[in-house]
């Protein structure tokens, strides 16, 4: 799938910017616009099955994180999962429809301790997501400490340069789920991480 996306991105009319499949989109605009498109089409007696399906799959991608963690850890109740990134995209503190919130709530509901770090959106998350049950860390490295799994949720550039070797040693179980197809799988393996992607 990664090779297909890379091939598509070679076409300058498409480009590579938004071809990293993963957790799906967040933010207010695309969700609002696609919902409006479906409703407006219905007002004129038209169906928009591709747009409706895209919206459904986008939501399901968040649920797949929990499924992947269950597949790896088998039992997640009582485990600790760290989230790297909270904002719906890098270089913003915007939390509107951010996948991190749905993922955190689903995990907390299953008895998981959720830790998280975001370089910009932490204070806003503490305020807006006060009821989510997330324990916030001071650094990205702290997310791995004692974790049974770490999930990359937002593709902040600085996450590529973390000390993944030290983080693997501090984790209870060095398993990383790359929700954005963003990190170098070979480097993670060399650093001691078991690695999976959405």
Supply the CATH number for residue 78's domain: 3.40.50.720
The pLDDT value given to residue 188:
96
pLDDT at 16 exceeding the cut of 90: no
Computed over every residue of the chain, the mean pLDDT equals 92
In 10 A of CB 60, how many CB atoms? 11
Residue 152 placed within a domain: yes
Strands (E) in the chain, as ranges, are: 80-84, 113-117, 134-136, 149-152, 175-178, 194-197
Number of folded domains that form the chain: 1
Residue 113 placed within a domain: yes
Rounded to an integer, what distance in angstroms lies between the CA atom of residue 195 and that of residue 150?
Answer: 10
The pTM assigned to this predicted structure is 0.90
For the stretch 126-172, pLDDT in tens is 999 999 999 999 999 999 999 999 999 999 999 999 999 999 999 99
Please say if 29 is a catalytic residue: yes
Residue 12 placed within a domain: no
Rounded to an integer, what distance in angstroms lies between the CA atom of residue 83 and that of residue 88?
Answer: 13
pLDDT at 46 exceeding the cut of 70: yes
| Active-site residue, from 29, 35, 39, 70 | 29
Residue 160 placed within a domain: yes
The pLDDT value given to residue 14:
73
Rounded to an integer, what distance in angstroms lies between the CA atom of residue 57 and that of residue 45?
Answer: 23
Residue 19 placed within a domain: no
Residue 174 placed within a domain: yes
The pLDDT value given to residue 18:
64
- Return the SS3 of 187: helix
The pLDDT value given to residue 91:
94
Rounded to an integer, what distance in angstroms lies between the CA atom of residue 155 and that of residue 37?
Answer: 28
Tokens standing for residue 150: 């770490």
Which structural domain, as residue segments, surrounds residue 192? 61-197
Residue 1 placed within a domain: no
Residue 21 placed within a domain: no
């Amino acid at each position: 799938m990664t090779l297909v996306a890379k091939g598509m991105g070679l076409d300058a009319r498409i480009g590579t910017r938004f071809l990293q499949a993963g957790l799906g989109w967040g933010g207010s605009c695309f969700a609002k616009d696609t919902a409006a498109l479906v409703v407006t089409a219905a007002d004129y007696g038209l169906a928009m099955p591709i747009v409706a399906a895209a919206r459904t799959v986008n939501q399901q991608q968040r649920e797949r994180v929990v499924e992947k963690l269950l597949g790896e850890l088998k039992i997640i109740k009582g485990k600790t999962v760290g989230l790297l990134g909270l904002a719906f995209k890098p270089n913003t503190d915007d939390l509107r429809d951010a996948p991190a919130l749905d993922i955190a709530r689903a995990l907390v509901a299953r008895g998981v301790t959720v830790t998280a770090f975001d370089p910009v959106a932490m204070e806003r998350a503490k305020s807006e997501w006060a009821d989510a049950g997330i324990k916030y860390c001071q650094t990205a490295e702290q997310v791995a400490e004692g974790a049974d799994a770490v999930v990359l949720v937002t593709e902040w550039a600085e996450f590529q340069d973390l000390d993944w070797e030290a983080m693997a040693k501090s984790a209870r179980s060095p398993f990383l789920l790359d929700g954005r197809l963003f990190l170098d799988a070979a480097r993670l393996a060399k650093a001691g991480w078991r690695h999976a992607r959405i």
